[in-house]
Amino acid sequence: MACGRLSSSTVTVAWPHNCLVPTFTTLPHIIPLTLSDWRNGDDDRDVWGQFGDILQDAGITIWPDHPKYKEVMPLQAKVEKFPVPNGYSFVTPHRGLEGKEVSKSPGTARELTRFEYTNDLSRAACLQNGQDVVVRIVVLKGEGRKYLEILRKIATGPLGLLSSNHTLPMLKEIAGDSATFCVFPMVGGGNLRNAYDGWAKTSAGDILDMVMQALEGLAFIHNLNIAHRDAFCDNFIVQWQPESLYTMKVPTSRPRVYLIDFETALASEPDSSNRTCVGFPTDEPEEYTRPAIPEMRSGQPYDPFKVDVWQFAMASPFARHLHPWIASWKICEYRMPRIALMQMKRYLSLAVLFIICRPNRYLFPWRHFPAVLLELNVSCLPPANSVEALRQRTYARSTHLITAIMILLIYRVSMSPWDTATLVAWVQDLPREAEIQFRQLRAASKEDLLVLVPYILIGLLSTVFLRFVAVRLLRRPLPPGPKVRTIPPQEPWKLYHAWARNSGPLMTITSLSQQVILLTNLDTVFELFEKRSLIYCNRPRWPMADLLGRQDNVGFTQYGERLRKGRRFLHSALNERYLLDQDGWGDFLVAHSLALLRMMVEGDPREAVGKLVETMIVQFAYGRDFAAQYGELARQVQAQTNLALQPGRWAVNTMPICAFCPCALEHTSAAGRATRSSSSGRSRAPPFERVKADMAAGTAQPSFVKHNLEEFPNMSKADERILIGATGSVYDAGVSTTVATLTSFLLFLSRHPAVQDKAHAELLRVLGSTFSTGVARLPNFADRTDLPYVDAVIQEIVRYNPPVPLVSHAPRKEDTFAGYRVPKGTWVTANIWSMLHDEETYPDPDTFDPESACPGLHLASQLTFLVVARTLALYTIVPASPADAEAPIEFATGLVAAPKPFKVRLVPRSGATEEMLAQALAEVEATVPARPPA
């Protein structure tokens, strides 16, 4: 053994509560140079003997050198009594000791089960409180520091207390400048390989639970970007005592599985896109005796996380002995139904365990799979005409059907191009085999048929299930994408945009029972929503919106006659000709734009925008100013609708059955919350009836409702309800989107004075300038074509923060696009925000720059143009205070993304600004008739 000297230094013990206790100042003189020398030495007792006094000072007593301590005791060992130093009792409890006398006298060692007291780098020891432990050399002269860092991360602290963490906890760390020892609890139940050998004596619940724990442990370290690279059954040890190694944990009723030996582990950075590695897990490839994948020997890169699953699932008795276990099933006369059901339960449970490994897609070498398939298909029972033989063949065929189910599941999981023809031919051959067996059944007596009923049912049910699985799994796949527990509640479109960089422009997000197919490419959206509009013309169901009484809103109406009529009402009045020419709506917009300027100067600009836009939309819808009477109620309805449409906010939107949950549950009490908030009808029916009364009296003003009642006379009550819902859609969409755009204008321009100066210079050039007032006149609709930069500012506002960042449709029938399947009713959502922040189209999408606006992008409304142009012509928008200038820009999450509350103020550009605004208001009031109040 190669040896060297360690420097003398002070060593401390790190306890779980991070207190440091001095232990010694002198280290042994002769120790191995490397961990490999220590591991491969002829006799490590001399090395460990040098550390006996040092560890004793730290409160750790190494087990003595006694020949009997090196015996590997059987799983249920008899009590052995050996002399031990200092009167300590070494206790390793385990299952199966009931009825045995255990000596409690000090000075005796008890129950040395399944543990070799010395194992090269490890040594059995005992703490002062009597707990058996294992001391392991982890770091030697700098070697092993990465191993120590991994242990510190997952085997101690808060992570070490999580029930999903199956890493063996580290109790203490004895650290020095050149060497570090770690102390772990002693687990005396053997490993999973030993447990597998004893499965015949173990309950099926223990078997499945141990395997589930092992997979859970792998998933835990993988989520922390740690790959073990030696995840064989030997490194999964079992604590049979139904108690926890940590007293802070809740005791479990099953054996606890722990993952050990992280010397070969690799830790990747969380944001690392390339997590491959090369070579063997150890530094001595010629001494590596474990099964290895071909990439290790050829030096090609491989994914260590997939190797973990391969090592556990293939190179372990769990998978290697799968077929012998099936072959060992016996047919025991008339006890067959009970045995068949028990074995089916075990087999299907194992199939579920394989499916758990689905994200890794690396269960075992697929080049061996055709041979495994053929082996499982071989019938070991000879053909015969007797009823007994027929019964046996029927049972054997039912077990093969179950086998086929599992194989199909694994095949679908793997997506591997192995011999598909062999599988398909075998599945197609099953009905012919069943027909032959049923022909033989015709010759059997009624008594024999009664005996065969359970097995026939097993075969039939398995065949039906197999057909169901085959139909579902052999279809085209869904687009790839991440699986998430919940949809993020705040600005999810930004997270979708980040996911699209890895998954592509077409991806699927699966959250609980809800699937959403996201589109982040303009060409894809045009193909589906425009060219295939007859398929994607439906709307997704929002159960929470239905509970709020919003099912009549056109945006939530399912495809059918009601939706077609609602759209007809909207298109009849919401067109450019009607808005600008019919009944003086152009002058109406001009008047409101000037009124908004006056309100923004006199009060809070953000609040002024909300109040005036609401008043204008209500007057447009009903011809009267109902804002004072029903405005507060309408705002409550709109706020509740936005709340109902928050992604991930309400469980009822994912699981409609939650509508019947008790009202006490916050996230599932949809029914109770909706009952308190369903005021949609109360805010819309009275104004609608008032318009009808005004029309009958001949005093009705032009409005959306009046126009449609005249355009479509003789409406039924059902059509009137549809028109009321369409009118509510005008209010919801008009107020929310217009307010979001105008408030974004105030917020963005207050942070970009250079953009304001450039737009004002363009206005001076087009409108003319005077010394006293700045601009010679106010801009109007006809000036828009001459103001390209002002128009670009509006387009950039909409691009930087689109008012509706997500637009969802639902196909009326199953569709196929780009080789992927789009199921009927699935949410197909266009991420408008992502398209308007595409780096290929916009070099710097997160910078507000009107010069990068794309021509032909979404054109803002006429009111938006007037407000933006006239505000920039007369005023400068500035933050209300220096603190407001530094506040982060944040947006609310809902159907409409509006800026969260902020403060700005308008500063006149000249002393005559107020006089020009007052004169313009007087001229408009003289020409535009006022709308009567409600």
Neighbours of 435 (CB within 10 A): 9
Question: What is the domain extent for residue 703?
Answer: 545-926
**Number of Cβ within a 10 Å radius of residue 85:** 13
Q: Could you tell me which residues come within 8 angstroms of residue 173 by beta carbon, excluding any fewer than 6 positions away?
A: 13, 14, 148, 152, 156, 180, 181, 182, 183
User: What is the model's pLDDT at position 259?
Assistant: 92
589 belongs to a structural domain: yes
CB 782 within 8 A of CB 844: no
Please tell me whether residues 716 and 850 are part of one structural domain. yes
821 and 886 together in one domain: yes
- Using one digit for the tens of pLDDT, what is the confidence trace for 825-835? 888 888 888 88
Same domain, yes or no: 674 and 759: yes
Q: 691 with 703: CB under 8 angstroms? A: yes
**Are 880 and 820 contained in the same domain?**
yes
Q: Decide if pLDDT at 242 tops 60.
A: no
User: Do β-strands 179-185 and 132-140 pair in parallel, antiparallel, or remain unpaired?
Assistant: antiparallel
DSSP 352: H
CATH number where 272 lies:
1.10.510.10
Q: What is the pLDDT of residues 345-362, one digit of tens each?
A: 444 444 444 443 333 333
- Residue 534 is predicted with a pLDDT of 84
Answer yes or no: is 94 within a domain. Answer: no
Q: What is the mean pLDDT of residues 519-548?
A: 80
Give the domain CATH number at 612: 1.10.630.10
Give me the helices (H) in 815-912, please.
Answer: 832-835, 862-874, 882-886
Distance from C-alpha of 382 to C-alpha of 393, rounded to nearest angstrom: 9
pLDDT tens digits, 717-764: 888 888 888 887 777 777 788 888 888 888 888 888 889 889 888 988
440 and 549 belong to one structural domain: no
Judgement on whether residues 45 and 160 belong to the same structural domain of the protein? yes
pLDDT at 609 over 80: yes
Q: Is there a domain that residue 74 lies in?
A: no
Is the pLDDT reported for residue 661 higher than 50?
Answer: yes
- pLDDT of 572 strictly over 70: yes
Whether 71 is in a domain gets the answer no
pLDDT in tens, 258-288: 999 888 898 887 766 667 888 888 777 776 7
Q: Is residue 607 part of a domain?
A: yes
Instruction: Tell me the average pLDDT across 224-243.
Output: 79
The answer as to whether 862 is a domain residue is yes
SS3 217: helix
Say if residue 444 is in the same domain as residue 584.
Answer: no
Q: Between 857 and 839, name the one with better pLDDT.
A: 839
Closest by CA position to 63, among listed 88, 80, 46, 99: 88
Give the CB-side neighbour count of residue 421, counting CA atoms within 13 A: 0
Q: How far apart are the first and last CA of the chain?
A: 99
Residue 423 domain-assigned (yes or no): yes
Model confidence at 615: pLDDT above 70:
yes
∠ CA 471-474-480, rounded to 5°: 120
pLDDT at residue number 510: 76
What pLDDT score was predicted for residue 151?
92
Residue that is last in its domain, among 294, 320, 346: 320
302 φ/ψ angles, rounded to the nearest 5 degrees: -145, 165
Same domain, 710 and 793: yes
Which range (56-70, 115-129, 312-326) has the least confidence? Answer: 312-326
Domain termination residue (choose one: 148, 170, 186): 186
- Decide if pLDDT at 143 tops 50: yes
* C-alpha separations of 828 from 479, 809, 858 in Å: 12, 5, 21
Residue 115 and residue 17: Cα distance in Å, rounded?
29
Q: Are 140 and 174 part of one and the same domain?
A: yes
pLDDT digit string, tens, across residues 849-868 = 776 554 433 334 677 888 88
Under the banding of pLDDT at 50, 70 and 90, the label for residue 326 is: very low
Residue 656 is predicted with a pLDDT of: 62
CA distance 892 to 876: 26
Q: Are residues 157 and 270 both part of a single domain?
A: no
Domain boundary among 300, 320, 340: 320
The residue ranges of DSSP E strands in 186-267, in sequence order, are 226-227, 236-239, 256-259, 266-267
Question: For 486-514, what is each residue's pLDDT tens digit?
Answer: 666 678 888 888 888 877 788 888 765 56
- Of the candidate ranges 392-396, 419-423, 566-570, the one whose mean pLDDT is the lowest: 419-423
- Long-range contacts from 920-924, C-beta under 8 angstroms, 24+ separation: 920/594, 920/778, 921/591, 921/594, 921/595, 921/598, 924/587, 924/590, 924/591, 924/594
| Most confident stretch, 636-640, 675-679, 690-694 | 690-694
Supply the CATH number for residue 27's domain.
Answer: 3.30.200.20
Same domain, 288 and 392: no
- Across the chain, what does the average pLDDT equal? 67
Token readout for 236 is 């999964």
How confident is the model over 868-877, as pLDDT tens digits?
A: 888 888 888 8
Count how many domains the chain has: 4
pLDDT in tens, 374-410: 333 332 333 334 445 555 555 454 444 444 444 444 4
Predicted confidence at residue 454, as pLDDT, reads 57
Judged by average pLDDT, the poorest of 129-133, 185-189, 249-253 is 249-253
Domain-embedded: residue 500: no
Give the gyration radius of the chain's Cα atoms. Answer: 38
State how beta strands 483-484 and 815-817 pair: unpaired
Q: Tell whether 587 and 553 lie within a shared domain.
A: yes
